[in-house]
Structure 1
Amino acid sequence: MAASTLSPLATTVRSATAVLIGVVAAVALGGCATGSAGEGAGDSTPSAAATAPTTLPAEAVSGTGSTPEFPGVDFPIPAGAQSVVIAFSCNGGEHFSVELGDSMALGQAPLSGTCDGTRSLTWPVSEQTGATLYVVVADGVDWMAAPTFLTAPFAYDEALTADCASFAEISSALFNADEGFTTYQAFGEDEWRARVDAASADLQELAEAAESELADEFSDLQGIVADPARTPGAWVAGTEGANAAIQQACNANQTPVVTVAEFGG
């Protein structure tokens, strides 16, 4: 593995992998996360299938410090794999990010968090998945990625999938309202308010209709966006916690929130 020094953590690969065999459900990524999820996310593990999936042979990779520039190091994917659970270990309290292949091209997400132990990170695998792993950690931090490849497909949470898609449209609308008014001067404050009011109404509807774990976060965001004291360019002030929770849950479900920009090149 060029440009990545083997870590002593590699000696624990067998026990780390054994813990994950048979696990196939996606839960919120935690602790140890662009895109866009922030630190403190929860573990990501797929939901149990009706029958035990077949596991496929795979080798762990390890290193010290970040991998070389994107796409990182070789990460062989066995034939027949449809999903992978990676036991990712690092310590030192520093932030980490892990990306399998080119997640953006596949509409997937890197997963990230803080280096405080071992976390389960889960991705779908297809013929388009690149056999590389891109790891970002602080200099001098040892890490190990022990994969369990499965013949079972990644188990998407359907409620989360729908809610993340709806929120992406609303988030984009709010982003474009601020960008259009403050950065590009494409319209005046009256249109800015109209756009924010419309997005706020959509966010309230989403909070009331949401069937996923994100209903409370949507409601919290709506209260901030609807505040009469809001100012142009500042709708995100005070929303960091709710936004982080939404990003983390959507990333763990591999249905990341994608902002579509209306202005700019």
Structure 2
Amino acid sequence: MDTKSGIVVYNYMDTFYCCLVEKDKWCEEMVTEHMLVYICSGELELISPEKRYHLKKGDAFFLKRNHMLRKIKKPSRNGEPFKGLFLQLKTPFLKTLLSENQITVPLVNNSHLAKSVYVLLEKHPFLKGLFMSLEQYFDARQYPSKELMEAKLKEAVFVLLQLKPELGSVLFDFAEPWKIDLADFMTKNYKCDLSIEEFAHYTGRSLSSFKKDFFCVFNNTPSRWLIKKRLEEAKCLITEKGEKPAEVYLKVGFKNLSHFSTAYKKEFGFPPSVINSTAI
């Protein structure tokens, strides 16, 4: 069990997670593997550039790998805490499953599916039955054996393929992402808590290639550009929107308030608290 910032996470084999949240919690992370999610209670908002999805108890959805995920976990209106089950469908497992079974993968590309980061799934007893059986393991604190867990993963894949056969082209697409537009990705994701190596990976580049391309685009190193960009955003939030430094530093990608305050003073000549007090 892992407890942090009001979130309780039970983790089994780095594959199956149960997350409990008693108050609104905003978070952002990179989804590195395909994931199947079920909402046992509470509510969840998924935020994409195109749309905002509002999910509630009993809803299930599929997340594609190699995408940034922004979400808000919250209790329901009657106070029932958020409880979600998250099942990762990792690439090595899917490769083995494909090689050992006669699975038909659609050859026709679905343009809508290709552009979608999240795929909402229709309510179905197969999905509900799968997750209700998995939930009981967490409730009893008795996790399934490795063999039983693999059987559940197979069940999850075959349920997905039965409910939405076109997902086969996504599940069994093992190609690594091509180089994507660096300026667009960094401008959209500079506030994310990612290392330089992770930024390189998610733009489809080696670390050396990423640094070289980055300098050509921004005429700066990734580390210096990220700090400057985050500080500019922080200054805007403090001076124009009246937010406090303690509310801002995590939003713009800093891990602790002390580091943020030091960097802010170095960049602008005075600490963020001074700006905040004069702006009020």
TM-score past 0.5 threshold: no
TM-score (norm 2): 0.24
TM-score (norm 1): 0.25
The structure where helix makes up a greater share of residues is: 2
Q: Which structure ranks higher in relative contact order (CA pairs < 8 Å, sequence separation ≥ 6)?
A: 1
